[in-house]
Amino acid sequence: MKIISWNINGFRAIIKKDFKKTINELNPDILCLQEVKANEKQLTSDEINIEGYSYIWNAAERLGYSGTATYYKNNFKPDETKIGFNIPEFDNEGRVICTRYGDIDLYNIYFPNGQRGMDRVAYKIQFYETLLQICNEDHKRGRKIIITGDFNTAHTEIDLANPKENENYSGFLKVERDMITKYLESNFVDIYRSLNPDKVKYTWWTYRFAARARGIGWRIDYFLVSQDLLPKIKNVEILDSIQGSDHCPVVLEI
């Protein structure tokens, strides 16, 4: 099974940039998109459909904001689908889609960005805490979990180009980084960093200052997997040569 996660920074924008051709070439079995910034009514059938795939869409109530979508090949239909946390303050932003395959739960998540002020940092931390509580309970029940998406946090200094300059900004605050650590202390593995302990690769670059061309980026898009899944992991890659968004895709093969 090949799973690709990609923050596309607007579905209506990326479909004009050879998006479907890229997906056809990458050929994922499951495609997890974040920040789709559209609801289904804003898209035509030709725009929203990808040949050979069905989709699950979770739009934010606010137009042009947030949202997630999970596409899956028709022979990878999930056994069950869950949208959101059943908590209105989080669910109205369209951030969570969970698809279940046997004993595996796949979470496609667009974690909150805390850069609009400390109230949003607090919201972001509560979101992290809520998801972790759900996952801890599911681990106790024997579930295996994959969490993928835009975490909006660089975990350690190797995960961004300028750590010292950013340590007081959301995305690299200690309280945010500690949440990633908390997940790793709760039966999860950051599989890319586990397999590539010293490798420097990024998944997001600001559009300003020619940051991508200059290699000034952040690794904020992850696959966290339950430790019980480690024997099944074949490969994980950051596809940083693929354009179309300010993020690049990340791929996991299990």
The CB density around residue 93, as the number of other CB atoms within 10 Å, is 22
Q: Three-state DSSP class for 58?
A: strand
* Residue whose token pair is 């309970």: 137
Active-site residues, by number, are 150
Distance CA 71, CA 11 (A): 13
Instruction: Judge residue 102's burial from the number of C-beta atoms within 10 Å of its C-beta, 0-12 exposed, 13-18 middle, 19 or more buried.
Output: exposed
Distance CA 151, CA 252 (A): 16
Q: Specify which residues 53 forms β-bridges with.
A: 73
φ/ψ (deg, to 5) at 89:
-65, -25
Distance CA 25, CA 50 (A): 12
Q: Specify which residues 147 forms β-bridges with.
A: 107, 224
* Residue whose token pair is 């093969």: 253
Does residue 124 contact residue 113 with C-beta atoms inside 8 Å? yes
Written as tens digits, the pLDDT of the chain (254 aa) is 999 999 999 999 999 999 999 999 999 999 999 999 999 999 999 999 999 999 999 999 999 999 999 999 999 999 999 999 999 999 999 999 999 999 999 999 999 999 777 899 999 999 999 999 999 999 999 999 999 999 999 999 999 999 999 999 999 999 999 999 999 999 999 999 999 999 999 999 999 999 999 999 999 999 999 999 999 999 999 999 999 999 999 999 99
Strands 2-7 vs 30-34: parallel, antiparallel or unpaired: parallel
Model pTM greater than 0.75? yes
Distance CA 148, CA 198 (A): 21
Distance CA 62, CA 201 (A): 33
How many Cα atoms are found within 13 Å in the side-chain-facing hemisphere of 68? 27
Distance CA 174, CA 85 (A): 25
Q: Three-state DSSP class for 55?
A: strand
